[in-house]
Amino acid sequence: MSDNQYDIAVIGAGPGGYVAALKAGQMGAKVAVIEKHHLGGTCLNYGCIPSKALLASAELMHKINSASSYGVTVGAPSFDWTAIQKRKDKVLTKLRGGIKGLFGARKVTLYTGSAQFDGPGKLTVTDAKGKTEAITAKKVIIASGSVPARIPGWPTDPNLVCTSDEALHWDALPQRLMIVGGGVIGCEFACMMHEYGVQVTVVEMMPELLPEMEPALGQALRQVFIKRGMQILTNVKVEDMTAAGAGVKATISGGTVLEIDKVLVATGRRPNTADLNLGSIGLDTDRGFIRVNNRMQSTVNDVYCIGDANGQCLLAHAASAHGITAVEDALGHGKDFDLPIPGAVYTFPEIGSVGMTSVQAAKQGIPIKIGNFPIGFLGKAMAVGEEFGFAQVIRHREDESLLGIHVIGHNATEIIEAGTAMLTTKASSRDLAEMVFAHPTIGEAVKEAAEDAFDQALHSPPKSVATLMAAVK
């Protein structure tokens, strides 16, 4: 094989592309990755990691504010935004270096530039100076990700109306911020910005925050946010937005005009596939998304698409899992991908969720029974002063299969891994109820919720004897 010929070429080095490349290297393939920007893609540079670094400083201040309730005396916390940003940037630099090191170890060739198809199996890479290089590959994996959606007709000056791309790297904080969209990204920003003293308004056109998750989670988070002093407007739409001096005027449903300093648009993301010259290989898209089957194969032979660009699940760990599926298939070891993908929200309190929601079950006509358990009943919750939240387990009413697990509360994003393991191994809801959890942990709420789904939770007030007896097999 000549220098520029590869078994596999991967377009994009986000969590989909870089993991696919490492897997291909591990399996002995000659592999190239083309990345036009930073290693790590959206997740490392404009998403998961920077947002969690900024949230970590915010959560620390939140915790310090309640220090006296633990008998600890400290002064009121203050912060240095430049230092917080520097800490975040240090984390990003370290992680980018880590990916580069891993590429070296797996003999992955990295091209820095923008890739375009130039016919089947052929790619042209153009670097920042306009220099081009041609490469060929037996299989191509598209992992070009997504970019934030912007709203046509609204001010385009990012100092007034911006997306998460800019907001994660702000030099200074606004006084009054409107967040349009109460999904995961909107809620994480609301939570952190409020802690940094920003006056936050969230506008969500659906009836509840986190509209795609189990409804009780969004309801609980809304209560927390309102109690902290944020303005949360649900069932409300932003009808119009105009620049007004150094700020913005937003007209919302009903005609009320809100004056704010900055707007963060968090209404969704669109696929980043327009510049790939897909026409040259006859690949059609569906509103920009490249549709794939369970092996990540597109409709064109030897071309795969993974991660955000295929629109199946816009999460980093989904992109990585897709990457492994695509590479295994490309190298002759294919199997369908059908594993449950957990969702996590890094607000404080955190949210972890996996499997079916009650709304999805109702739509599919599946008979369910829901078990609940308040985290505040747990010894660990009281001991560590984190009593807010609950766990919910959804089981099939008739065959007892485990359908979904939803948790809001301290460490929920870690706890959900246990639920994901149970769903992945197709354990039943009774298996979850009978599993032994370490004590004292917040995770015990999941076991108790599973028990409650059989009316058998020991640490909840007893149900009627008749109900209990009916549940005992």
Residue ranges that bind ligand FAD, judged by CB under 6 A: 11-17, 34-37, 41-43, 46-48, 51, 114-115, 143-146, 164, 185, 272, 275-276, 307-309, 314-317, 319, 346
Task: Please say which residue, 280 or 428, places its beta carbon nearer to ligand FAD.
Answer: 280
3-state secondary structure the chain: CCCCEEEEEEECCCCCHHHHHHHHHHCCCCEEEEECCCCCHHHHHHCHHHHHHHHHHHHHHHHHHCHHHHCCCCCCCCCCHHHHHHHHHHHHHHHHHHHHHHHHHCCCEEEECEEEECCCCEEEEECCCCCEEEEEEEEEEECCCEEECCCCCCCCCCCCEECHHHHCCCCCCCCEEEEECCCHHHHHHHHHHHHCCCEEEEEECCCCCCCCCCHHHHHHHHHHHHHHCCEEEECCCEEEEEEECCEEEEEEHHHCEEEECEEEECCCEEECCCCCCHHHHCCCCECCECCCCCCCECCCCCEEECHHHHCCCCCHHHHHHHHHHHHHHHCCCCCCCCCCCCEEECCCCEEEEEECCHHHHHHCCCCEEEEEEEHHHCHHHHHHCCCCEEEEEEEECCCCEEEEEEEEECCHHHHHHHHHHHHHCCCEHHHHHHCCCCCCCCCHHHHHHHHHCCCCCCCCCCCCHHHHHHHCC
Query: Smallest gap, in angstroms, from Cβ of residue 65 to ligand FAD?
Result: 24
Query: Smallest gap, in angstroms, from Cβ of residue 188 to ligand FAD?
Result: 7
The answer to whether residue 317 is catalytic is no
Task: Please say which residue, 15 or 25, places its beta carbon nearer to ligand FAD.
Answer: 15
Query: Smallest gap, in angstroms, from Cβ of residue 136 to ligand FAD?
Result: 16
Task: Please say which residue, 266 or 403, places its beta carbon nearer to ligand FAD.
Answer: 266
Task: Please say which residue, 112 or 199, places its beta carbon nearer to ligand FAD.
Answer: 112
Query: Smallest gap, in angstroms, from Cβ of residue 80 to ligand FAD?
Result: 23
Task: Please say which residue, 146 or 201, places its beta carbon nearer to ligand FAD.
Answer: 146
Query: Smallest gap, in angstroms, from Cβ of residue 305 to ligand FAD?
Result: 9
Query: Smallest gap, in angstroms, from Cβ of residue 258 to ligand FAD?
Result: 23
Decide: 19 and 45 in contact? Cβ < 8 Å: no
Decide: 169 and 50 in contact? Cβ < 8 Å: yes
Task: Please say which residue, 35 or 329, places its beta carbon nearer to ligand FAD.
Answer: 35
Q: Which of the following is catalytic: 38, 194, 333, 439?
A: 439
What would you measure as the largest C-alpha separation in the chain, in angstroms? 78
Task: Please say which residue, 125 or 252, places its beta carbon nearer to ligand FAD.
Answer: 125
Of the candidates 266, 257, 251, the one whose C-alpha atom is nearest the C-alpha of residue 182 is 266
Query: Smallest gap, in angstroms, from Cβ of residue 115 to ligand FAD?
Result: 4
Task: Please say which residue, 12 or 174, places its beta carbon nearer to ligand FAD.
Answer: 12
Query: Smallest gap, in angstroms, from Cβ of residue 148 to ligand FAD?
Result: 6
Indicate which residues carry an active-site annotation: 439
